[in-house]
Amino acid sequence: MPIETGRENAPQPLLTLTEDEQLFRDNIRKFAEETIQPLVKEMDEKGVMDHGLVEQFHQLGIMGIEVPEQYGGGGGTFFEAILAVEELSRVDPSVGVLVDVQNTLVNNALIRWTTEAQRQKYLPKMCNEWVGSYALSEAAAGSDAFALQTRAEDKGGHWLLNGQKLWITNGKESNLFIVIATVDPSLGYKGITAFIVEKGFPGFSVGKKEDKLGIRASSTCELIFEDCQVPKENLLGEVGKGYKVAIETLNEGRIGIAAQMLGLAQGAWEAAAKYAKERKQFGQPIANFQGVAFELAQMATEITALRLMVYNAARMKDAGIGFLKEAAMAKLYAAQVAERVASKSVEVFGGYGFTKDYPVEKFYRDAKIGSIYEGTSNMQLSTIAKLMLG
């Protein structure tokens, strides 16, 4: 009698995609290679995102991947959003982070915390024309994210916001900002409150755009609130519940940044492997030399391990399973792998890798941000340690 294996009910391997996911990924990859790749060098040099690209993102439906169809979105999964970020970042991490912030931070917060009236007002715009930003960080509120100075005062008919935000991704392109402020600093985290701020609100302006080491086409800006008037109906969630909005949104966003770093590492590795098979020394491709081949093999192994971690965290999120530890681990490891792979890829190219004529130089610069934003590597280690050690 044959032994029952139960294989017919076995879960699919994490790296196996459904037909729909495969088609989605392939379409994003094709678009990235054909449309984004020719613009990468110029966007990096000028430090500006091509405006036409943003319009195409909306036309392709990748600015509202998880938004329900009734609001004009794709009705897709968080995992699909992660696939999009990975594939775009494989060509240009600057583009990857714009789409990442839109989907994993801004849209996720709007889907989860808004009223029905707010969803009807804002989600169709996010899917079809608007870009969004998530505004938490301040000069004195980095890793200590809730040492906020931006104040929100209830003026009866409206809220009045005063303060500054720093390091805000998509600041130049955005029409909508999720802003975290405090109604009373003496209340600590219980005073933290979230708001939906439109670019045209009185008293709001976008300040300095940072001149950065990497992901230069992605705008990183200061936001200024000077008696900024926010309608009462633009409260996001409840007064004093902004801490929960911010933390739970960031947990999801960390998987997105891990996907960005994953795509970066994959792009750098592919460039290095291709070059190693073409570049000849001592009468043969350098890929034939063990010193190069082993480095590429090690890099490929780490990228595959990272992909498993990122996909697992994203699948857990979609399944409604707690994923805080897995997100922190994925984000931590992604930053480490991206830096190592980008650095080793430069070395494979040798002197050429140190020039701007080849893509690995840019991947190397872009990789550094992975250990800094949306929670530094030390903050991820702190989270993991607390969850693992109690």
**Model pLDDT for residues 113-151, shown as the tens digit of each residue:** 999 999 999 999 999 999 999 999 999 998 998 899 999
Calculate ∠ Cα 382-388-390, nearest 5°. 85
In the predicted model, what is the mean pLDDT of residues 13-26?
94
**Is 3 a member of any domain?**
no
**Is 279 a member of any domain?**
yes
Query: Could you tell me the pLDDT band of residue 8, with boundaries at 50, 70 and 90?
Result: low
User: 145 and 223, same structural domain?
Assistant: yes
Instruction: Choose the final residue of a domain: 219, 239, 259.
Output: 239
β-bridge pairing 176-182 and 132-135: parallel
pTM of the model: 0.96
Domain containing 229 — which CATH number?
2.40.110.10
* Pick from 206, 96, 193: nearest CA to 154: 193
**Is 4 a member of any domain?**
no
**Is 190 a member of any domain?**
yes
- Catalytic residue list contains 374: yes
User: 300 and 370, same structural domain?
Assistant: yes
Buried b (16+ CB within 10 A) or exposed e, 246-285: beebbbbbbbbbbbbbbbbbbbbbebbbebbeeeeeeeee
Query: Could you tell me the pLDDT band of residue 233, with boundaries at 50, 70 and 90?
Result: very high
User: 267 and 221, same structural domain?
Assistant: no
User: 347 and 358, same structural domain?
Assistant: yes
pLDDT digits (tens, 9 = 90+) for 40-49: 999 999 999 9
In the predicted model, is pLDDT for residue 7 greater than 60?
no
Q: What percentage of the chain has pLDDT greater than the value 70? A: 97
Q: How far apart are CA 315 and CA 82, in angstroms?
A: 10
Q: Which of 173, 222, 361, 374 is catalytic?
A: 374
User: 374 and 301, same structural domain?
Assistant: yes
Query: Could you tell me the pLDDT band of residue 9, with boundaries at 50, 70 and 90?
Result: low
Structure tokens of 292? 């190069």
In the predicted model, is pLDDT for residue 1 greater than 60?
no
The chain-wide mean pLDDT, for the chain, equals 96
In the predicted model, is pLDDT for residue 6 greater than 80?
no
pLDDT at 5: 46
pLDDT digits (tens, 9 = 90+) for 291-312: 999 999 999 999 999 999 999 9
In the predicted model, is pLDDT for residue 219 greater than 80?
yes
User: 216 and 232, same structural domain?
Assistant: yes
Q: How many domains does the chain have?
A: 3
Domain containing 346 — which CATH number?
1.20.140.10
User: 262 and 384, same structural domain?
Assistant: yes
pLDDT at 13: 82
pLDDT at 129: 97
In the predicted model, is pLDDT for residue 4 greater than 60?
no
User: 145 and 95, same structural domain?
Assistant: no
Q: How far apart are CA 262 and CA 44, in angstroms?
A: 20
User: 106 and 18, same structural domain?
Assistant: yes
**Is 9 a member of any domain?**
no
The residue segments making up the domain with residue 278 are 244-389
DSSP string for 175-197: SEEEEEEES-GGGGGGGEEEEEE
pLDDT at 145: 82
Instruction: Choose the final residue of a domain: 131, 160, 177.
Output: 131
Residues 224 and 164: beta-carbon distance below 8 Å: yes
pLDDT at 335: 98
In the predicted model, what is the mean pLDDT of residues 330-340?
98
**Is 5 a member of any domain?**
no
**Is 1 a member of any domain?**
no
User: 383 and 260, same structural domain?
Assistant: yes
In the predicted model, what is the mean pLDDT of residues 12-35?
95
User: 288 and 342, same structural domain?
Assistant: yes
**Is 263 a member of any domain?**
yes
Q: What is the DSSP letter of 115?
A: -
In the predicted model, is pLDDT for residue 2 greater than 60?
no
Instruction: Choose the final residue of a domain: 100, 131, 162.
Output: 131
User: 280 and 344, same structural domain?
Assistant: yes
